Amino acid sequence: MAKPPGVGEDAAQCPKARHLADVYGEMIYTHATAIDVSLLSAEQVEAVTTALYQQELPL
């Protein structure tokens, strides 16, 4: 039986995406619009920095 999309291993995120999702998830849960960088792990800081850099790239 075929699994629906986004279920099982196909739904897994790469480690950088997981760290970013953890940050965003916490912000959504606490209704935060900003987060203190000192509260983030080194991996989370790297993931957020990468995401912000990629957001600035022209399409």
- Tell me how many domains the chain contains: 1
Residue 1 in any domain: the answer is no
Residue 30 in any domain: the answer is yes
Inform me whether the pLDDT recorded for 7 exceeds 60: no
pTM of the model: 0.68
Residue 20 in any domain: the answer is yes
Inform me whether the pLDDT recorded for 8 exceeds 70: no
Q: What is the pLDDT of residues 50-59, one digit of tens each?
A: 988 988 877 6
Percent of the chain beyond pLDDT 70? 78
Name the packing angle between helices 15-30 and 42-56 (round to 10°). Answer: 90
Segments forming the whole domain that contains residue 35: 14-56
Mean pLDDT of 13-27: 88
d(C-alpha 17, C-alpha 23), whole Å: 10
